[in-house]
Structure 1
Amino acid sequence: METVPTPAQAAAHFAARLSFETDCSDVHAALESGEPGFVLIDTRNVEAWEQGHVRGAIHMPKPDMPARIPAEFPEGTQFVVYCWGPGCNGATRAGLIISELGYAVKEMIGGFEYWAREGLPVDREAHDQASGITLTIDATRVPDPLTAVASTSGERIACDC
Structure 2
Amino acid sequence: MTMKKLEVLHVFDLAVQVGPPVEAGNTIGASGRGRRRIIPILGGTVRGPAVDGIALEGRVLPGGADYQMVVSDTVAELDARYMLELVGGERIYVTNHALRRAAPDVTARLVRGDPVDPSQVYFRCVPSFEVSAPGLAWMTDRLFVGTGVRLPDRVELAVFQVL
The normalised TM-score by structure 2 is 0.26
The normalised TM-score by structure 1 is 0.26
Greater fraction strand: 2
Larger gyration radius, structure 1 or structure 2:
1
